[in-house]
Amino acid sequence: MCCQIFAAMKLHLFKYDTFRRHARMCIEPAIVYKWRNWQDEMLQLLAQREKVIVGGDMRADSPGHSAKYGSYTMMDLETNTVVDVQLVQSNEVGGSYHMEKEGLKRGLEFLDAHGVTLDCIVTDRHPQIQKFLRERNVNQFYDVWHIEKGISKQLEKVCKLKGCEKIRKWLHSIKNHIYWTAASSSSGPERVAKWMSMLNHMQNKHTHEDSNFPACLHGTRRSRDTKKWLAAGTLPYLKLEKVLSNKRIVKDVAKLSPHYQTSSIEVFHSVILRFTPKNVVFPFLGMLCRLYLAALHYNENAGRPQATTAAGRPVFKVTFPKAKKGEYRVREVKTQATFKYVDDLLDLIFDKVFVDPAPYVDDVLRIPIPPSLCAEYDRPEKEEAISSRVSRFNQ
């Protein structure tokens, strides 16, 4: 984009090769040094804590199962701080499907090597992750939003079936119920009992057989819409029961995270987009350094306070997210982001890296870089490839 703007303004810009030379000799070594220094300080603090609750999730550099890179983020959920980012290339693990497990494995080994003791980890429901953590005896909880999203998709399909339109009246309540179930429970059996109580509640029955949750907590109410109640054995009830009491759903509800969620990691992933757009191809080291930059930016700005007006009143913004289908959301407006890490990097480059680049460059050279995806193939001579080129229409 900058190149296009400069070209339109008839301004000269240095060539890409020049940029890569400066990046290789000065910028990338400074970024790696800055990130590792900050990370070492953070890990020392984490190692002093008795138990640490982390969240983990992977971001692919492109949608689908054809991604080249997968970056796995480990975040301290109590302080909302990115503590580690592992970059995995698909040919390291035999395909992009396996990158998430490898990223998590490397992240856990890294934290363990620095003396960090985990209390639990909050993730999504990736099957490989479940099996891996179970075999390592790591206490795992599931992010509530990911489960709610999966259930909502199934219920949206059910609502469109003939005779099941009544279920739509309960969608919002079911979504709220799963969050309440997670936040108000102290054990897996209690979560399951509260979750299954929804089937009785929708029949206007508010006492339950499970001793972990024998009765609804709300007071006696008189509903304005008596037609919303479902009757056992009817098509809407049976379809709803099939979704809510699915064995996998019930099993996953028992492991809902009671307090911390991975929404902060999703926010960090949106920050990464500013540094590594998905429509631009980066070399491995360039991608890694951009991930470190994104982590430095996020950590510096994660605790920003809410903006206020001149009169001291907090500022809010009303939005209409596409996923909410017409429902509005009110969110806090934060103060402007700061970029102190950029000033620190510039000071480091001009005061130290320029003066003696060798130790900084050596640190970068020690980073293992996997071979490119096309390295396993034989590269033809360019002239030979051009001469054999034909169109699919005149073969």
Residues 171 and 273 in one domain: no
Let me know if residue 180 belongs to a domain: yes
Let me know if residue 315 belongs to a domain: no
Instruction: Indicate if the pLDDT at residue 164 is higher than 70.
Output: yes
Q: Please report how the helices 188-201 and 171-184 are oriented relative to each other, as an axis angle in degrees rounded to 10.
A: 160
Give residue 245's pLDDT band: very low, low, confident or very high (50, 70, 90).
very high
Show the domain range for 42: 2-143+260-305
Give residue 395's pLDDT band: very low, low, confident or very high (50, 70, 90).
low
129 or 377, greater pLDDT = 129
Give residue 244's pLDDT band: very low, low, confident or very high (50, 70, 90).
very high
Single residue among 274, 305, 336 that ends a domain in this structure: 305
The string of pLDDT tens digits covering residues 175-232 is 999 999 999 999 999 999 999 999 999 998 888 999 999 998 887 777 777 778 888 9
332: region left, alpha or beta (phi > 0 left; psi from -120 to 50 alpha): beta
Residues 205 and 245 in one domain: yes
Let me know if residue 170 belongs to a domain: yes
Let me know if residue 230 belongs to a domain: yes
Structure tokens at 252: 């996953």
Domain count, the chain: 2
Tell me how far CA of residue 92 lies from CA of 84, 95, 289, 377, in angstroms. Answer: 19, 8, 19, 16
Let me know if residue 366 belongs to a domain: no
The string of pLDDT tens digits covering residues 288-343 is 999 999 999 999 999 899 899 999 899 999 988 777 777 788 888 899 999 999 99
Let me know if residue 107 belongs to a domain: yes
The string of pLDDT tens digits covering residues 248-274 is 999 999 999 988 999 999 999 999 999
Residues 31 and 173 in one domain: no
Residues 122 and 193 in one domain: no
The answer to whether residues 29 and 364 touch, using CB atoms and an 8 Å cutoff, is yes
Let me know if residue 325 belongs to a domain: no
Residues 233 and 276 in one domain: no
As a whole number, mean pLDDT of residues 137-141 equals: 93
Let me know if residue 345 belongs to a domain: no
Residues 240 and 290 in one domain: no
Residues 10 and 138 in one domain: yes
Residues 246 and 276 in one domain: no
The string of pLDDT tens digits covering residues 62-74 is 876 788 999 999 9
Residues 18 and 42 in one domain: yes
The domain that holds 299 is classified in CATH as 3.30.420.10
As a whole number, mean pLDDT of residues 161-174 equals: 90
Instruction: Indicate if the pLDDT at residue 394 is higher than 60.
Output: no
- What is the pLDDT, as a whole number, of residue 145? 92
Residues 12 and 129 in one domain: yes
Residues 64 and 213 in one domain: no
- What is the pLDDT, as a whole number, of residue 12? 85
Residue found under tokens 């037609």: 227
Q: Which residue from 204, 169, 208 is spatially nearest to 190, judged by alpha carbons?
A: 208
Residues 274 and 206 in one domain: no
